[in-house]
């Protein structure tokens, strides 16, 4: 079962190309600073703008660099079921430990459509699958009842919950019949999510403050609630700053200040505003990261 601080890894760009050298630097930084897993090609990795070849190579590189030190949960979702199957098969063949599959965006499937989408991917693969429920970006919200039905499918083992609804994990756990992995997708409420039965967080902030994020989860797991709360309070301003504008714009700027990569995003994301940059830089300085 996956737990702890799991960065949703940014994808560095050099002009219009993926910067694989900087990707390696980012991954090494995350591994060396105590991250408990890696998620390449998720929302924070700007997956909608990646070509098929780029998507697959980034996952392959992440698996190679992680070298089984920590798990790799490959982002393999799509609003095209056949494409999601292709990406998931590739991740499985490449040696990923699990696949993170987002609810299909733009199409607006019904609950029945959501169930059939994930069931079809499961039927075609054997890799553990984590449902990524993020209604704020995909416009569809998987219901608790649909998730419970999917949990009965052979290799669907957990959820990345980016609803920011802290009652939901309790309601789901109360009805769930089997062991299921609950991962938060919201940095600002990650600690509260742990208190509701979660096991970790797939995190944006952990791209630039991996050690602090990891230490917070470690303290919680060891029962040191006060320490985890203290770290969470320290991180709160950075959590907020990284979402002043559309992610991953602010976190990529933060990474550029740390010398990990440049701040480039791919259109339709554009350069963040100067005022946002000032806030992000100030937060890094307050945490002694700069």
Distances (CA, A) of 289 to 132, 188, 238, 257, 281: 30, 19, 11, 9, 9
Give the other-Cβ count within 10 Å of 79's Cβ. Answer: 18
Nearest to 205 by CA among 188, 220, 222: 188
* HSE of 16, CA atoms in CB hemisphere, 13 A: 1
Which residue is it, tokens 């990569």?
A: 261
Q: In sequence order, what are the residues at sequence separation of 6 or more whose Cβ sits closer than 8 angstroms to the Cβ of residue 146?
A: 111, 114, 115
Nearest to 121 by CA among 138, 102, 107: 102
Phi-psi region at 234: left, alpha or beta (left = phi > 0; alpha = psi -120 to 50):
alpha
Verify whether residue 154 is a known catalytic residue.
Answer: no
The whole-angstrom separation of Cα 232 and Cα 237 is: 10
* HSE of 165, CA atoms in CB hemisphere, 13 A: 16
Could you say which of 29, 105, 115, 132 is catalytic? Answer: 132
Could you say which of 3, 25, 56, 160 is catalytic? Answer: 160
Verify whether residue 160 is a known catalytic residue.
Answer: yes
Active site residues: 132, 160
């Amino acid at each position: 079962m996956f737990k702890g601080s799991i960065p949703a890894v940014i994808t560095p760009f050099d002009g219009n190309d993926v910067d694989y050298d900087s990707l390696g630097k980012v991954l090494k930084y995350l591994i060396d600073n105590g991250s408990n897993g890696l998620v390449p090609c998720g929302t924070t990795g700007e997956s909608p703008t990646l070509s098929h070849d780029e998507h697959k190579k980034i996952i392959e590189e992440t698996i190679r660099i992680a070298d089984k030190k920590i798990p790799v949960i490959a982002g393999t979702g799509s609003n095209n079921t056949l494409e999601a199957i292709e990406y998931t098969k590739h991740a499985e063949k490449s040696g990923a430990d699990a696949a993170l599959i987002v609810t299909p965006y733009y199409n607006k499937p019904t609950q029945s459509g959501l169930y059939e989408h994930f069931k079809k991917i499961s039927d075609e693969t054997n890799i553990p699958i984590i449902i990524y429920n993020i209604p704020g970006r995909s416009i569809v919200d998987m219901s608790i009842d649909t998730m419970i039905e999917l949990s009965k499918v052979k290799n669907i083992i957990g959820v990345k919950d980016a609803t920011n609804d802290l009652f939901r994990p309790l309601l789901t756990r109360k009805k769930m019949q089997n062991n299921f992995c609950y991962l938060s997708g919201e940095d600002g409420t990650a600690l509260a999510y742990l208190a509701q039965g979660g096991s970790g967080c797939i995190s944006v902030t952990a791209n630039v403050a991996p050690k602090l994020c990891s230490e917070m989860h470690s303290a919680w797991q060891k029962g040191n609630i006060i320490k985890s709360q203290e770290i969470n309070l320290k991180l709160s301003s950075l959590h907020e700053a990284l979402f002043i504008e559309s992610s991953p714009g602010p976190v990529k700027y933060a990474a550029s200040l740390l010398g990990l990569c440049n701040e480039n995003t791919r259109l339709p994301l554009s350069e963040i505003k100067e005022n946002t940059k000032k806030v992000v830089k100030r937060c890094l300085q307050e945490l002694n990261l700069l």
